[in-house]
């Protein structure tokens, strides 16, 4: 399907979703959310990693589209928030690893998009923040919750209350991004990380993601039980037998995702 606001490209088992509205600094409007939703649902079983980035050389995603939001009612705001939550939850729920390549401004909804990914890497020129309070509102697509879980309550409050934009180095310092790369090396690095993940058992990677995500919201005893179940179920897979046989034979494993 051809999209107007995004691009979805495949490079073997790696897919790249690019928010591509450079004239609007890739701001998220309803049309963009619907296209993203369609693109995520269209991913096939042969896709084993997804990289999310922004088009152009200035922005990852500069935020939600203020021009669309300025006249909406409270009821319409609930619908818009629900749409954004749905798309970012769908991204978070993908059974494959997702990598945010933050190549510029990641503000408001843009940072919330990155937070919906498993791994976040940023270019040296990236700026990140949640400036919604300067507009008289708060983040509406999960930013208050995902940021808190990633960097802690006090750091999240600091970013939310001050609306400060932080640079990539500071984002790494507080644990918001994993690494900072030169702009021309960012996608190369993200592809290399994806390629490293692809060498591993896809069922195991998916189960590890599931256990971490669901376990984070539970008490330790319940989370450990979730891990125990995930560990055990993989022993019914062909991938487990292949992985252990390959280890004993001192050869690379040929995983099939079965």
Catalytic annotation, pick one of 68, 92, 132, 227: 132
CA distance 43 to 205: 17
Catalytic annotation, pick one of 112, 124, 227, 238: 112
Tokens (6 digits) for 25: 């600094």
| Per-residue tens of pLDDT for the chain, all 258 residues | 789 999 999 999 999 999 999 999 999 999 999 999 999 999 988 999 999 999 998 999 999 899 899 999 999 999 999 999 999 999 999 999 999 999 999 999 999 999 999 999 999 999 999 999 999 999 999 999 999 999 999 999 999 999 999 999 999 999 999 999 999 999 999 999 999 999 999 999 999 999 999 999 999 999 999 999 999 999 999 999 999 999 999 999 999 999
Terminal alpha carbon distance of the chain: 29
Q: What is the largest CA-CA distance in the chain?
A: 65
CA distance 48 to 138: 34
112 annotated active-site: yes
Cβ(184)–Cβ(221) under 8 Å? no
- pTM of this structure: 0.95
| pLDDT at site 2 | 85
Domains of the chain: 6-198 (3.90.226.10), 202-249 (1.10.12.10)
| pLDDT at site 6 | 97
Closest Cα to residue 168, out of 124, 117, 106, 102? 124
132 annotated active-site: yes
């Amino acid at each position: 399907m051809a999209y107007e606001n995004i691009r979805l490209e495949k490079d073997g088992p790696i897919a790249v979703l690019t928010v591509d509205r450079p004239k609007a600094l890739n701001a998220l409007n309803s049309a963009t959310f619907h296209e993203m939703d369609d693109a995520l649902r269209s991913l096939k079983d042969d896709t084993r990693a997804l990289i999310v980035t922004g088009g152009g050389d200035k922005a990852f995603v500069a935020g939600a589209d203020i021009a669309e939001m300025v006249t909406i009612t409270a009821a319409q705001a609930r619908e818009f928030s629900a749409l954004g939550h749905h798309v970012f939850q769908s991204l978070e729920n993908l059974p494959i690893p997702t990598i945010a390549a933050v190549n510029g401004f990641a503000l408001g909804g843009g940072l919330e998009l990155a937070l919906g990914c498993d791994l976040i890497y940023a270019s040296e020129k990236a700026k990140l923040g949640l400036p919604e309070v300067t507009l008289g509102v708060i983040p509406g697509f999960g930013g208050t919750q995902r940021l808190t879980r990633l960097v802690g309550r006090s750091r999240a409050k600091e970013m939310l209350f001050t609306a400060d934009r932080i640079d990539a180095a500071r984002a790494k310092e507080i644990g918001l991004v994993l690494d900072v790369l030169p702009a021309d090396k960012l996608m190369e690095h993200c592809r290399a990380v994806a390629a490293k993940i692809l060498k591993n058992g896809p069922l195991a990677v998916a189960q590890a993601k599931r256990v971490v995500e669901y376990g984070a919201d539970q008490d330790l005893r319940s989370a450990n039980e979730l891990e125990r179940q995930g560990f055990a179920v993989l022993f019914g897979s062909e991938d487990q037998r292949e992985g252990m046989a390959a280890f004993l034979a001192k050869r690379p494993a040929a995983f099939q995702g079965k």
